[in-house]
A and B are shown apart, each in its own frame.
Chain A
């Protein structure tokens, strides 16, 4: 495994939304390289374009101009089947609003991506239970999302994102709807995944707690990257924030 392998490359990406006659440019030309196994945080104020960039990287939306490469493959070139396969096997998504399927139990939510991947049911259930164990919810497998707290739902979502051993986990404000301690637990969980499993983690956030876990932080403002800081540069910045 080469440490320098670039797993995601964003090249000159812009995204314009048209609402009636008004055009909103959410991304104004973003270039970014993300290394395999890296824990990267995308920071920025509300409306700066974090979610938009997140959706581009995850293949959930298409850039107006520019390209997103995953493993040097331009994802705009993928057909519907390959795109579904990419979402299913190679990327795990975690959302601010958890987005569990309400009619399914915790376990069923986790096994669904495995079923899509063609795994036999028994095997999927076995692995699903292990993943629930991993996020500390082994006993809650039969509960529906409404019967779980926000933090517990997000744990289920983390477990679900791991279902098919993805190379990349994309998390858009995973702690946005959680209280301080629960948020920290989720962050610790993701950091552990990045370290122990070598999963590339990309999170969009405006939560300063996320920073200490990150290898690099990308500061984005008004649709552009303002600066990129690595962990050692960061300690200084965080010190500054902690002061007030």
Chain B
């Protein structure tokens, strides 16, 4: 093993000293650490992911319900249009697409907002709890960006998992509701690519929400001086 104290701390610098002075955290290792942290706090992360899943499933439900109505509308069959009119959609001549009104859009936006606030709150708590861990990592040579990356990775994994499950659930619920309301025509006329796109879109919204929620707490944590972080009592 190499002798520790024989060299100067900064001395003996060759021309490529800046290269040897880099600190690194390989991506694979970041993922490994993030997965570990997620696993250790499994229950808490599950709850955060579930609240996200709930919001995303609601959004997907709204999207896919609209997709179903649009499918029926595009079939052009009078009987189906009648059903749509009964269900409250505007199918008068000249309308090219059916969709939720502004009220529906408001509800969607509001539900996302509520969810975002919940996530920021949960992440603030989770990050505060880990100040000491963060301070320790910085003492070991971690850069601010390592800390940020770990938190973003965790939030991304949590976000994708929660959102995707929520989106699938919400999509299925919408299709089932459509079948009950309009019979088998709902499924046969539904454009599956449109529905798939809705699921992906909702998953994307969920992921963005999860990342946005962790960003502020993570930046605050990453910027802390090691001493400040370590002073926090556990």
Interface residues, chain A, CB within 8 Å of chain B?
A: 1, 5, 7, 36-37, 55, 58, 60-61, 70-73, 80-82, 84-90, 93, 95, 99-104, 112-113, 115-118, 121, 127, 130, 160, 162, 165-168, 193, 197-200
Contact = CB atoms under 8 A, between A and B. Distances in A.
B21 interface: yes
A198 B143 CA distance: 28
Given A61-B225, A71-B11, A167-B4, 10 more contacts: A60-B227, A73-B10, A85-B23, A101-B137, A116-B24, A116-B142, A167-B5, A197-B3, A198-B6, A200-B5
B221 to A, nearest CB: 14
- Tell me the interface secondary structure of chain B in the complex: loop
B233 to A, nearest CB: 10
15 contacts: A71-B9, A84-B138, A87-B138, A87-B141, A88-B140, A99-B135, A99-B136, A101-B137, A102-B133, A116-B141, A118-B24, A121-B29, A127-B1, A197-B4, A198-B6
B230 interface: yes
B143 to A, nearest CB: 5
Given A60-B225, A60-B226, A70-B9, A116 B4 contact: no
Given A99-B230, A167-B9, A84 B3 contact: no
Given A71-B11, A118-B22, A165 B2 contact: yes
Contacts of B5: 36-37, 167, 197-200
A84 B225 contact: no
B85 interface: no
A80 B144 contact: yes
Nearest to A37: B5
Output the residue of A7, A73, A80, A87 with the most chain B CB within 10 A. Answer: A87
Interface of B: 1-11, 21-26, 29, 33, 36-37, 40, 132-133, 135-144, 146, 225-227, 230
Contact of A113 (B7, B33, B133, B141): B141
Contact of B23 (A70, A84, A162): A84
B230 A85 contact: no
B218 to A, nearest CB: 17
Nearest to B229: A60
A199 B135 CA distance: 24
A7 B37 CA distance: 38
A24 to B, nearest CB: 14
A130 B143 contact: no
Nearest to A194: B5
Contacts of B138: 84, 87
B9 A7 contact: yes
Contacts of A165: 1-4
Nearest to A104: B36
B148 to A, nearest CB: 13
Nearest to B141: A88
B41 to A, nearest CB: 8
Contacts of B2: 165
Nearest to A85: B21
Contact of A103 (B3, B7, B29, B36): B36
Contacts of A166: 4
A80 B139 contact: no
Contacts of B37: 103
Given A167-B9, A168-B9, A84 B4 contact: no
A69 B25 CA distance: 28
Nearest to B7: A167
A125 B145 CA distance: 24
Contacts of A80: 143-144
Contacts of A90: 9
Contacts of A103: 36-37, 40, 133
Nearest to A54: B227
Contacts of A200: 5
Contacts of A118: 22-24
